[in-house]
Amino acid sequence: MARQTPLYEAHKKLGGRMVDFAGWDMPVQYAGLIPEHEAVRTAAGMFDVSHMGEIEFRGKGALEEANRLITNDLSRCADGQAVYAGLLNERGGFVDDVVAYRFNPEHIFICVNASNTQKDFDWMAANAKTVKPVNRSADYAQIAIQGPKAAGIVQRLTSTKLSDVGTYRFTQGQVANVECIISRTGYTGEDGFELYCPPKDAARLWFALLEEGKGDGCIPCGLGARDSLRTEMKFALYGNDIDDGHTPLEAGLGWIVKLDKADFIGKSALEAQRKAGVTRKLVGFELTEPGIPRAHYPILKDGQKVGEVTSGTMGPSVKKAIGIGYVPAALSAEGATFHVEIRGRPVAARVVKTPFYKKP
């Protein structure tokens, strides 16, 4: 039996088409993937991301403890700042990719993927030395509102001055009289917020945002649009583009790894890999012949399998068949060509600059 978020009834009421996602009953679309995708690029869209997990470290040494588990460096952040980071195993592979929030050095809040919540919590609990993690996932619903109109919509519902909350910054305040963590983060490539609130208030916040945003063209969006929006940005999806067998250096996420900070799990493996050089890289490519790349399709060079597609779609904004996949380092430069095997047929592809989508 799939789990339901506090917004399940809201999705039903709004005509969301529900599917099982990581054990959760989630809306894959409402009006349709393409209008939802377009709304986020040009106006605003809302996503229920309550299925995501939240894990907290609190008390003396919380920052040091969390910092030993993730690749990015919370000691270099200000209070009220969040960072994207890897949670790695000893081999440098991803246990998960996370966003870590620094409330203060004694309060670190980490948002993790729904499918990994229990695994991440167990991993953190097993590796935490002094400050133990607390799984707060049941205490938070989360609504993402994304798009060029998102900030204006949220601003009309809060007395918090949002112009003071920069990208990857957060604060606490009321939105539509609901107590929230107001975080200027997202997974779409657009400006916007992710609002963490008590589950009992989630529907009230959802409908308040929807009502306030109506005149701006704000609509509810499903997981389908979330996936096409993030693919156009080449944002990694755990389980597709990154997993426990791939490192941040291979995934092109060297920028979230701070090798000059104090020790963290996976650091020595990454140092060794950096020294030796990565042999495969995650690249973005477009097809130059008809077809659409999909996850798990083989990548071929001279008829031999040399890699695999990890994500792919027809990008609704870029209007091209785009894909992400691991290829040998020698094939990773912009302009490099290879083939993607689609139903037994090789289809030509070319490595392109990412993100695929650039704001007009």
Partner 1 sequence: MSNYPSDLKYTKDHEWAKKTGSAVAVGVTWHAQDALGAVVYVELPKVGAQVKAGESFGVIESTKAVSELFAPVSGKVVKVNQDVADNPGAVNDDPYKAWLIEIEPANAADYDALLDQPTYTKLLESAT
On the CB side of 20, CA atoms within 13 Å amount to 5
* 114 touches partner 1 by CB under 8 A: no
In the region spanning residues 277 to 296, those forming contacts with partner 1, defined by CB under 8 A, are 290-292, 294
Binding span for partner 1 by CB under 8 A among 33-41, 207-215, 270-278, 331-339: 33-41
* 186 touches partner 1 by CB under 8 A: no
CB 292 → partner 1: shortest distance, Å? 5
* 34 touches partner 1 by CB under 8 A: yes
User: Each residue of 232-270: b (16+ CB within 10 Å) or e?
Assistant: bbbbbbbebbbeeebbbbbbbbbebbbeebeebbbbebb
* 316 touches partner 1 by CB under 8 A: yes
Nearer to partner 1 by Cβ, of 26 and 265: the residue is 26
* 275 touches partner 1 by CB under 8 A: no
CB 33 → partner 1: shortest distance, Å? 5
Q: Binding-site residue total for partner 1 (CB under 8 A)?
A: 18
CB 28 → partner 1: shortest distance, Å? 7
Residue 325 token pair:
């996949």
CB 315 → partner 1: shortest distance, Å? 9
Distance CA 29, CA 45 (A): 12
- DSSP-derived 3-state class of residue 187: coil
CB 297 → partner 1: shortest distance, Å? 10
- DSSP-derived 3-state class of residue 201: helix
For the chain, the straight-line distance linking the first and the last C-alpha, in angstroms and rounded, comes to 44
CB 227 → partner 1: shortest distance, Å? 7
* 320 touches partner 1 by CB under 8 A: no
Residue 332 token pair:
């990773």
* 228 touches partner 1 by CB under 8 A: yes
CB 145 → partner 1: shortest distance, Å? 22
Residue 109: enclosing H or E segment and its boundaries?
strand 107-112
CB 38 → partner 1: shortest distance, Å? 11
Q: Which amino acid is residue 148, in one-letter code?
A: P
Question: Of residues 23, 32, 166, 245, which one binds partner 1 by CB under 8 A?
Answer: 32
* 233 touches partner 1 by CB under 8 A: no
With a CB cutoff of 8 Å and minimum separation 6, the contacts of 319 are: none
Nearer to partner 1 by Cβ, of 258 and 339: the residue is 339
- DSSP-derived 3-state class of residue 13: helix
Write the CA distances from 251 to 33, 68, 82, 237, 326, integer angstroms. Answer: 27, 21, 21, 11, 8
Nearer to partner 1 by Cβ, of 34 and 300: the residue is 34
* 332 touches partner 1 by CB under 8 A: no
On the CB side of 201, CA atoms within 13 Å amount to 18
Q: Following DSSP, what letter does each residue of 56-93 receive, concatenated?
A: EEESTTHHHHHHTTBSS-GGGSPTTEEEEEEEE-TTS-
Binding span for partner 1 by CB under 8 A among 108-116, 160-168, 207-215, 313-321: 313-321
Distance CA 165, CA 333 (A): 36
* 321 touches partner 1 by CB under 8 A: yes
Q: What angle do CA 232, 235, 5 make, to 5 degrees?
A: 100
What residue has token string 């941040």?
248
Cβ-in-10-Å burial (0-12, 13-18, 19+) of 305 comes to exposed
Binding span for partner 1 by CB under 8 A among 32-40, 99-107, 174-182, 247-255: 32-40
Nearer to partner 1 by Cβ, of 218 and 322: the residue is 322
Over the window 188 to 227, marking each residue x when it contacts partner 1 by CB under 8 A and - when it does not, the resulting string is ------------------------------------x--x
* 14 touches partner 1 by CB under 8 A: no
The residues pairing with 222 across neighbouring beta strands, listed in sequence order, are: none
- CA 257 from centre of chain: 17
Provide the binding-site residues for partner 1, judged by CB under 8 A.
28-29, 32-34, 37, 224, 227-228, 290-292, 294, 313-314, 316, 321, 343
